[in-house]
Amino acid sequence: LAKTTQPISMDSYEGQEVNITCSHNNIATNDYITWYQQFPSQGPRFIIQGYKTKVTNEVASLFIPADRKSSTLSLPRVSLSDTAVYYCLVGGAGFQKLVFGTGTRLLVSP
Amino acid sequence: DTEVTQTPKHLVMGMTNKKSLKCEQHMGHRAMYWYKQKAKKPPELMFVYSYEKLSINESVPSRFSPECPNSSLLNLHLHALQPEDSALYLCASSQEGTKQSEQFFGPGTRLTVL
């Protein structure tokens, strides 16, 4: 399983764009990159998943360079409710043994 | 219905008690998971059931005993726990797919062992 490295914490203000980078140097050919969000005392929630280039959905964008050794989760115009822990995970197809890294604690201030 | 439900929300038990945690999903998912999460730490995988069969056991002590009675239900039986087992226990489910399956997590059971 690929090991991931993320910043431990980040601070931002409401309305700003936040970019959280994840390093996964030993990603395998079949691996996908997935991001989860977790609020205190709740289960993690799927945000976005990608394999290469760029993926966008209604809440975030995921940028993956050609070598796939890193990825960046982009949250446009964050609000206070985006204060949470964000986890980057890599893994292959099917029923997956998800190994959570330490995650990034994002604090959004007014 | 895209929800995973867990009961109870909170549980306090003594070290000699026997209790069970329950998880349910009605999304037709064929994989179900138990995770343990300590405060300010990431979730740690405990067990994975695939098509109602135990496929992954992450060397969890035998005082935790999982059970999958059918494809919608997952139980975690607890016996002779230690205070260090106090944590948030999360259940998740996913459907098999050609890419990494999105896992849907329940709200968790907050367990306190006295």
Q: What is the mean pLDDT of residues B62-91?
A: 96
B110 has pLDDT over 60 = yes
Q: What is the mean pLDDT of residues A24-37?
A: 90
Exposed / middle / buried, residue B86 (Cβ in 10 Å: 0-12, 13-18, 19+): middle
The reply to whether residue A43 touches residue B101, judged by beta carbons under 8 angstroms, is no
Separation CA A101–CA B25 (nearest Å)? 26
Q: Note whether B68 and B57 are within 8 A (CB).
A: no
B43 has pLDDT over 60 = yes
- The upper half-sphere exposure of residue A82, i.e. CA atoms within 13 Å in the direction of its Cβ, equals 26
pLDDT digits (tens, 9 = 90+) for A51-107: 999 999 999 999 999 999 999 999 999 999 999 999 998 887 666 667 788 899 999
| Among candidate residues A44, A21, A104, the one with its CA nearest the CA of residue B45 | A44
pLDDT digits (tens, 9 = 90+) for B5-41: 999 999 999 998 999 999 999 999 999 999 999 999 9
| Predicted pLDDT at A98 | 73
A86 inside 8 A of chain B by CB: no
**Which residue in the set B55, B97, B108 is minimally distant from A43, CB to CB?**
B108
Separation CA A11–CA A73 (nearest Å)? 15
